[in-house]
Every structure is written in C-alpha cells, then in structure tokens.
Amino acid sequence: MPRELQEVVFVDGVRTPFGKAGEKGMYAQTRADDLVIKCVRELLRRHPELPKERVEEVAIAATTQIGDQGLTLGRMTALLSGLPKSTPGYSIDRMCAGAMTAVTTVSSAIGVGAIDVAVAGGVEHMGRHPMGEGVDPNPRIVAERLVDESALVMGKTAENLHDRFPQLTKERSDAFAVASQRKLAAAYEAGKVQPDLVPVATRHAEKGWGLATADEPPRPGTTLEELAALKTPFRPHGNVTAGNAAGLNDGATACLLASQAAADELGLPVRMRLVAHAFVGVEPEVMGIGPVPATEKALAKAGLTIDDIGLFELNEAFAVQVLSFLDHFGIADDDERVNPWGGAIATGHPLASSGVRLMTQLARHFEEHPEVRYGLTAMCIGIGMGGCVIWENPHHADYRKDA
C-alpha cells in the first residue's frame, strides 16, 4: 500500500506561569509532573470538541528524568491527566529543546500517518532538579579531549561565543536583555501573555496553597546601568551575567498537534502548519550558535530563504547566542519581527519546556499578523546543537497555495 503523508497542524498551546527555581520560588513545593498535567488538562478543557480517546500519543520532555520528572513521564502524564488508558506516552530528552523535539517527533508520527492527534510538551523543575543532577559524564570526554570542559557549563559556552564573535559585546547583550524585559512587560500590560497561561495551585507547607497566575522571573524596568553592575559568574571580567541570560526556572508547557484531516473532522482550530524542521550539531563549546545551521537546514528543506520569514520566536538562553543568530542572518538587534513579546531572558527558561512556549506565542503572533506567511521557532541546545521549526500562517491569503 503506498504511504500517504499527512500535513501536521498546531492546534493550541499553553504553559504554566514560569517560576524562579529554588527554595523561595513559587513552585518550590509543587511537583514537576503536576505542572505539566495542569497544562494537558487545560488543553482538554479548552477543546471539548476533541474526544479524549482520540489523543493517540503524549510526548513529554524533561532534561533530568529523575523522581517526579521520571517514570516514563509522558505515559504518567496521560494517566494522571484523565486521558483514557489506551492513550500511550513517552519521555523525551534533548536538553533545552526537549519540548521542541516532542513536537517534531509526534509531528513526524502524524506526518507518516501513524497517528492523528497528539499532545507534546515539556517540564523542567530546576529547583527540584538542578541542571546536572545525577549526571555521570564519561571520563573519555576528558581523557580524549573530545570537548572542552567548558562545554558542560552553559554560561561558559556563552562566554566562548563572545570570544568567537568579538563584535558581540557585553553592551549589545545587555541592551538586548533590557529590550526583552521591556517587551514582555508591554505584552503583559496589553494582556497578550495571560490567555495561554494555566493557573497552577501552588503547594507550600508553611504558606498554604496559593495560585500562580503570572511569571515570577520578569524584572520589568530593568536598566542598562543595573545590568552593567552585575557580576560575571562564569569568568572574571567576563560578559555573561544573570541579567543577559535566562535564569534557573520551574515550568511546563504543552500543545496539541493534529493531522490536517483530523483537525477538519473534529473541528479543531488550525493555528499553524508545520512546514519543516531541522536539528544540527555544532561544537559543544559554542552550543549557542546551534540555531544558525539548524535554521539554514530547515530553510533549505522548506525551499525558503531567511527573507521569507516574517516572525521569529528565538529562545533567549543567552543574549549573545541570539545576537550571533541575528548577525549571521543580517537582522538588526532590535528588529520588530524578533521576539515581539520578549523572550526567555524575561520569562525564564525551564529547559525542556521552552520550545512549546515559542510555538504558542508564534501562533498568537500569526493571528495578529495575517500579512506574515512564514515564521520560525529556534533554539540552542546544550552539548552543542540547534533546533529550528518553520511554520506557515493559516491566516495568510496564500496559505497552502503551493502545498
């Protein structure tokens, strides 16, 4: 029987408000799996037109798959979210691009016709599971000098990027960070971020229950002067600070993906169409550059050029890493098409969850910008990788004209 390929569409995406990792963070005593379960529940609540038994896969990413982020998290999430026992699930780990990989992996299954509807998402509770918890790096890495030791410390890889591209100064990074904070504050003010936030009941033994309804990390009103005064923890007199990088955060995301046919049949909204995606490896010491080759590869696969892209959702692990992307493609630091609501420097970056945040926001931007036909979501990935997913805007006049 000849194989029929299916178009994959992004139906909806949500996330928890992101919290600060650590004892004082709002999720300090809230379980990681509960965070992602709340997201899946919200997707199901928003889409009563979707019969639960039609969800055929739940792929959930976490970088540290231990404890409440372990135990085949995708399957447990399906069970604990009230999906029928017939819904399978699995866990994904591609470090920061976990949720992005969850999306591309279930999309591939939809694309080849193995399934029609799936949930993809990610969670990272960096308070309960700090980066590097329980890792056991192979001693060959050092013995054979496979990578520089700095490759395993993300902040150091960002410093390495500054070395490689001397034109990417600390001042440019700080300016980019200030803009990120400003744009997120404006988006909150305009009520753009809140609709896709899932309120989460937060457990705390001393304070009692609370309800998380907004991101905890943002520092609206951050100034260049304030940033200039921050320490550079990864290198004396270095460039990378807590102010021009994403913090350590807790949070979860989830989205609903479907074949175009299933969306039509069930009446699911189509917010974006997946055009192409790519993941590419780079030198681990400068992992932040990863989105560049990944984007070039994805563009090539899509038969598009960077000029066809009207909106960018780039994960801001480090300002310098986003700037290296923009410089490469000749895009201005303050280009309006890039991260219109700010990025991870302001919202936070709970590692494996972030990919879906980019997509959820891009889908919202598409609604506001029917003149834009294509957008992309891209992010750098620890241990030297980049990922890029290109999407088409269903609100555009030429949507699927040449598909």
Catalytic residues: 96, 349, 380
* Residue that the structure tokens 């400003």 belong to: 182
| CA-to-CA dists, residue 206 to 17, 125, 190, 200, angstroms | 21, 20, 34, 18
| Contact pattern from residue 82 through residue 121 relative to another protein, giving x for each residue in contact according to CB under 8 A and a dash for the rest | x---------------------------------------
Q: Answer yes or no whether residue 297 interacts with another protein by CB under 8 A.
A: no
Q: Does 4 bind another protein (CB under 8 A)?
A: no
Largest CA distance in the chain: 65
| Minimum distance of another protein from residue 210's CB (angstroms) | 4
Does 71 engage in binding with another protein (CB under 8 A)?
Answer: no
Give the distance from CA 76 to its chain's centroid. Answer: 21
Considering only 34-42, 98-106, 169-177, 239-247, which stretch makes contact with another protein by CB under 8 A?
34-42
Binding footprint of another protein, residue count (CB under 8 A): 19
Question: Can residue 67 be called a binding residue for another protein (CB under 8 A)?
Answer: no
Q: For residue 343, which of 179, 188, 135 has the smallest C-alpha distance? A: 179
Examine residue 207 and tell whether it contacts another protein (CB under 8 A): yes
Q: Which of 15, 20, 38, 162 binds another protein (CB under 8 A)?
A: 38
- Please count the other Cβ atoms lying within 10 Å of the Cβ belonging to residue 348: 28
| Dihedral sign for Cα atoms in the order 285, 290, 293, 297 | positive
- Closer residue to another protein (CB): 77 or 157: 77
Q: Which residues pair with 254 in a beta bridge?
A: 14, 121
Supply the Cα-derived Rg of the chain in whole angstroms: 20
Two structure tokens written together for 203: 């457990």
Strand partners, 89: 58
**Binding test (CB under 8 A) with another protein, winner from 200, 240, 314, 378:** 200
Q: Which of the stretches 199-207, 271-279, 310-318, 324-332 binds another protein when contact is defined by CB under 8 A?
A: 199-207
Verify binding: residue 213, another protein, rule CB under 8 A. yes
Alpha-carbon span 320 to 165, nearest angstrom:
9
Residue 358 DSSP SS3 = helix
Rounded to a whole number of angstroms, the minimum distance from the CB of residue 331 to another protein is: 38
Given the rule CB under 8 A, which residues bind another protein?
37-38, 41, 80-82, 198-201, 203, 205-211, 213
